[in-house]
Amino acid sequence: MTQNAEHVLDHFELFRGPEYQQMLANKKALFENPQDPAEVERIREWAKTPEYREKNFAREALTVNPAKACQPLGAVFVAVGFEGTLPFVHGSQGCVAYYRSHLSRHFKEPSSCVSSSMTEDAAVFGGLNNMIDGLANTYNMYKPKMIAVSTTCMAEVIGDDLNAFIKTAKEKGSVPNEYDVPFAHTPAFVGSHVTGYDNALKGILEHFWDGKAGTAPKLARKENGKVNFIGGFDGYTVGNIREIKRIFELMGIEYTILADNSDVFDTPTDGEFRMYDGGTTLEDAANAIHAKATISMQQYCTEKTLPFIEGHGHEVAAFNHPVGVSATDDFLMTLSRITGKPIAKALEQERGRLVDAMADSSAHIHGKKFAIYGDPDLCYGLAAFLLELGAEPTHVLSTNGSKAWAEKMEALFASSPFGKNCHAYPGKDLWHMRSLLFTEPVDFLIGNTYGKYLERDTGTPLIRIGFPVFDRHHHHRYPVWGYQGGMNVLVKILDKIFDEIDKNTNVPAKTDYSFDIIR
């Protein structure tokens, strides 16, 4: 018997016991109709070859292990960034269970969101009644200050019209007439979660700025010199937005963070569950129209929102998830230029410290090859940082990256001698990445939790940066933006590099002469 009460064995130890091993071997041999082990080995090796890579890259229809999610996830992420706001997703209810689980697994936080629970009859007759009842129930039960509506693909396929439905629901008394119910159509078969972020944010700003779907006068802009900030879909939103606020405050800039979900995804455990916490106030969301300028930290999360804002007279600037020295320099100089405020001395010192740290450690990173995958902006930001560390971002892959993104990546590679052998892969998935790692190996892989399968199969050590990160805790609390954020990314990369060196030099009397105490 393997199990014992004194030292309870977990699944990772329990099943290695001889009784279980024998049982599993018998199961396989007798009942599973297993493939011939030699054949498994042959295919396993074949799947590593350039020939397999070619077939793999010739795929036109099948997607395997994509690194993207669907639009409504981004819409939910935006909605909870507004004060007292409950996301309401119109369509099938299972989707909402999925978004909530997904966000909770990453942030280790509650994730509140409701569905209009459409079923077969709604598929035939449309989901108007679901909207009418759903808004009334949500309003009464959860007392939100605002309900932000988006859609699942079911509602999109049958063509439900949110504007008309919400209007009718208000007429039927589901919520008061003047109550804020911004909306965005977020079809899952267009774009990805970053598109949903974009659509939902635009929907909310449009609601407040452009007359609340014809129920209020449009706001007239009176410039007030403030700066709006948009983070984009970001797994590090908790750490990043707090870091950005600190930077704004150091520079004495008046600002509005739009869709500030840094508190709702980081509520204290003190005996009280806060369904809502923090967030951009509705007043601030409306008044954001008066700002001088709007900055988006992620270009590809705001492809529609930013032009919309620009159309209201703002100066706009978009970055690509800036990480490291130069990207942060650009960000701060843009802020300074727009506001006329000098870059704070304290930030200059932080810059110096990041440069200092990079100089101290550069020898360990210089010339190392990396593969990166993730959302398009994150990929860009990380690749740029690696280039300034003298590393080579050899494969940069973004399932939701466009051709335009790939061109931008190639231009980045061309700007650095370290980018010479680097390539961008738009619209590809992690099964493509697997072929890349086998046929053109790199030293390290940067990506989300799902990269662990690539690490297992190809032996490329994984540095977890991205979304989602399910299997490591609390990384989202640490910023990756600003010079301090750059420091966090640097340390994360270095820790993995040193762990690997130690792992490769720890065999007594064989390799441990290099098991150095000082590195």
Q: Which residues are catalytic?
A: 153, 157
Binding residue (CB under 8 A) for other proteins from 81, 91, 279, 466: 91
Size of the site for other proteins (CB under 8 A): 109
Pairing of β 85-90 and β 146-151: parallel
Three-point CA angle 460, 466, 469, nearest 5°: 85
Least distance (Å) between residue 414 CB and other proteins:
30
Radius of gyration over every alpha carbon of the chain, rounded to an integer in angstroms: 25
Element (H, E) at 445: strand 444-447
Beta carbon nearer to other proteins, 139 or 481: 139
Least distance (Å) between residue 404 CB and other proteins:
17
Q: Could you give the CA distance from residue 336 to residue 338 in angstroms, rounded to a whole number?
A: 5
- Judged by CB under 8 A, which stretch of 94-102, 210-218, 222-230, 357-365 contacts other proteins? 94-102
- Judged by CB under 8 A, which stretch of 151-159, 253-261, 316-324, 345-353 contacts other proteins? 151-159
Q: What is the DSSP letter of 187?
A: -
Q: Could you give the CA distance from residue 372 to residue 380 in angstroms, rounded to a whole number?
A: 9
Q: Which residues are 294's β-sheet partners? A: 228, 316
Q: What is the identity of the amino acid at 314? A: H
Binding residue (CB under 8 A) for other proteins from 126, 137, 172, 254: 137
200 in contact with other proteins (CB under 8 A): no
Site string for other proteins, 427-456 (x = CB under 8 A): ----x--x---------------x--x---
Binding residue (CB under 8 A) for other proteins from 5, 220, 359, 518: 5
Candidates 422, 428, 433; CA nearest to 401 is 428
Beta carbon nearer to other proteins, 138 or 394: 138
Q: Which residues are 392's β-sheet partners? A: 369
113 in contact with other proteins (CB under 8 A): yes
Binding residue (CB under 8 A) for other proteins from 111, 199, 302, 398: 111
- Judged by CB under 8 A, which stretch of 6-14, 200-208, 348-356, 374-382 contacts other proteins? 6-14
Least distance (Å) between residue 276 CB and other proteins:
13
Beta carbon nearer to other proteins, 179 or 498: 179
Q: Could you give the CA distance from residue 184 to residue 181 in angstroms, rounded to a whole number?
A: 10
Binding residue (CB under 8 A) for other proteins from 170, 242, 261, 272: 272
Pairing of β 255-258 and β 315-318: unpaired
8 in contact with other proteins (CB under 8 A): yes
Beta carbon nearer to other proteins, 15 or 498: 15
Instruction: Scan residues 36-65 and list those touching other proteins (CB under 8 A).
Output: 39-40, 43-44, 47, 52, 55-56, 59-65
Binding residue (CB under 8 A) for other proteins from 75, 81, 82, 134: 134
Structure tokens at 211: 């007359």
CB 146 within 8 A of CB 178: no
Least distance (Å) between residue 111 CB and other proteins:
7
Candidates 258, 330, 250, 248; CA nearest to 289 is 258
Structure tokens at 291: 């700002």
Whole-angstrom CA distances from 186 to 96, 194, 309, 467 are 13, 11, 19, 20
Length of the chain, in residues: 519
CB 106 within 8 A of CB 469: yes
Instruction: Scan residues 451-480 and list those touching other proteins (CB under 8 A).
Output: 453, 457
The strands making up 444-447's β-sheet, listed across from edge to edge, are 423-426, 392-398, 369-373, 444-447, 462-464
- Judged by CB under 8 A, which stretch of 213-221, 264-272, 287-295, 412-420 contacts other proteins? 264-272
74 in contact with other proteins (CB under 8 A): no
Q: What is the DSSP letter of 251?
A: T
Structure tokens at 151: 């859609």
Least distance (Å) between residue 493 CB and other proteins:
26
136 in contact with other proteins (CB under 8 A): yes
497 in contact with other proteins (CB under 8 A): no
Beta carbon nearer to other proteins, 158 or 501: 158
Using CA of residue 399, residue 404, residue 407, residue 413, what is the dihedral sign?
Answer: negative
Instruction: Scan residues 153-182 and list those touching other proteins (CB under 8 A).
Output: 153-154, 157-158
Q: Could you give the CA distance from residue 373 to residue 138 in angstroms, rounded to a whole number?
A: 38
Beta carbon nearer to other proteins, 111 or 302: 111
Q: Could you give the CA distance from residue 63 to residue 54 in angstroms, rounded to a whole number?
A: 15
Instruction: Scan residues 283-342 and list those touching other proteins (CB under 8 A).
Output: none
Beta carbon nearer to other proteins, 47 or 355: 47
Q: Could you give the CA distance from residue 245 to residue 260 in angstroms, rounded to a whole number?
A: 10
Beta carbon nearer to other proteins, 256 or 399: 399
